[in-house]
A = this chain, B = another copy of it.
């Protein structure tokens, strides 16, 4: 069984180890806040979650999946479930007391947002993030080399430091801080000593600057330079983090009763959703998994024995964060689906439709009638900053080439193309640093639902775009780890790769169209010029060619039969 704790809901997936098919799935939305997110009306940066939501929804999701399996597979026995894997959003840490109870569940902190779980998309800690980046640049540049050069406001230490700075009462009451991908397995396996919780190397390595090479978490001197209280906290966090093929513990009788499962089954170490999603999409050496949603996550792995150079501007590199024995490489774009949603919500007139779905559909119909470059437009995909390869939140959107005749569907197409150019820029950077991409597997909402976008991606990236067979790759990846953690005797799998072979696959392939290659190469060169000009300090040159080249391309394409 895989349990996937997303931004808005909990999902339970049951996979049949006989043949790898998905037996049942059940999704339950978090009841608190707005779509499960606790907001602060006075500060748009704040995004928190109620820790109780995870447990109330998990119970319903597991029971729902079991019921569904019983309904659709006569003879199905819940006792045949041998292990649970868990993935969550992250970095999403929360404070706990010495008894491992989330402060947000205590009566005295019931209404204090700072005592809740700090959701990955919380941006309140940007000042602290800048302080951490600066301090590391001076004292420990090696820390930054593994995270693409910049520590994010979304991550573990930024959140903790901001909590200390703005809510000293919460910080003081916190015995430790725990990522929810570590906390949920701890609860299920009955661990109530914060220091003993088995921590995920995925969250630790990508979000908390953990690395075995420098002895785990950042050292005391560095933390003291940030804040003496962080130095003191270090011993109450963790010394060691491990991959998800290992056991976090075994299901307690109490939780077994609540969930309707057998006590004592394996609980795998948790991990972040994107990384487990990559596993569920079949990530392996030289395969790039792209998780395409409101933002995107690009995941690759590289065998440890081959060694590795850091890639500037690529978000994260952590040992074992995706597959044991491999470096996990994480990159991504801060906004993809979010850009389209912004555009359709704010700039598409009702002649395209009465609601979002209709507007999207008709934009696509109209945009697909055009040849590449026929709109004469080019955009940068930086409406929410650039995560990779520039790692700079102080960037913004750009649209160039509009005339008095430009229509909404043409801009929509240019925005899709911009995100594809951004994706290609990341692939090119990884290739420059020796990480060859031989296969691209896509998953997430856009991959399975938007064939117009997928074809543009295939054409622009100029490689086949494969789509993962499963629509719920994070939960599937979690289930794979649940099976491996349960041991070969029970599951038949001692290695994640073997489980992936059976359980993952491709359902569709978009082939690049050769007739579009040259035009998109020309447009990508112009994108690169804008990218480097507006995004880097080093670039210097002229821009006089850009509008003229776009007009020439437009004229050429309009004449093309």
Contacts and interface: CB of A to CB of B under 8 A. Distances in A.
Interface of A: 335, 338-339, 342, 345-350, 376, 382-384, 394-408, 411, 533-537, 539-544, 546-548, 550-551
A175 B397 CA distance: 56
Q: How many chain copies?
A: 2
A400 to B, nearest CB: 5
Nearest to A409: B346
Given A347-B408, A551-B396, A403 B384 contact: yes
Contacts of A349: 345-350
Given A399-B399, A540-B540, A543-B543, A404 B342 contact: yes
Given A384-B404, A398-B547, 8 more contacts: A350-B350, A376-B396, A395-B547, A395-B548, A396-B547, A534-B547, A535-B544, A541-B541
Contact of A335 (B384, B394, B404): B404
Contacts of A382: 547
Contacts of A411: 347
B396 A550 contact: yes
Contacts of A540: 540-542
A339 B349 CA distance: 16
A510 to B, nearest CB: 27
A397 B396 contact: no
Nearest to A548: B394
A338 B404 CA distance: 7
Nearest to A294: B404
Given A348-B347, A397-B400, A342 B544 contact: no
A396 B553 CA distance: 13
A24 to B, nearest CB: 36
A497 to B, nearest CB: 38
A385 B396 CA distance: 24
Contacts of A384: 403-404
24 contacts: A335-B404, A345-B349, A347-B349, A349-B350, A383-B402, A383-B403, A383-B404, A384-B403, A394-B548, A395-B547, A396-B400, A396-B402, A396-B547, A396-B550, A397-B401, A397-B403, A397-B406, A398-B547, A400-B534, A534-B547, A539-B542, A540-B540, A540-B542, A541-B541
Contacts of A536: 544
A408 B543 contact: no
Nearest to A385: B403
Closest 10 CB pairs of A and B: A397-B402, A350-B350, A533-B543, A342-B404, A398-B400, A396-B547, A347-B347, A396-B401, A399-B399, A534-B543
Contacts of A399: 397-400, 402
Contacts of A398: 398-402, 547
Nearest to A397: B402
A338 B406 CA distance: 12
Contacts of A335: 404
Contacts of A407: 346
Contacts of A544: 533-537, 539
Nearest to A349: B349
Contacts of A397: 399-403, 406
Nearest to A376: B396
A180 B411 CA distance: 40
Contacts of A396: 376, 400-403, 547, 550-551
Contacts of A339: 404
A543 B531 CA distance: 10
A403 B537 CA distance: 21
Nearest to A382: B547
A542 B529 CA distance: 11
A408 B321 CA distance: 42
A126 to B, nearest CB: 11
A394 B549 CA distance: 9
Nearest to A380: B400
A428 B537 CA distance: 30
Contacts of A350: 349-350
Contacts of A338: 404
Contacts of A402: 383, 396-399
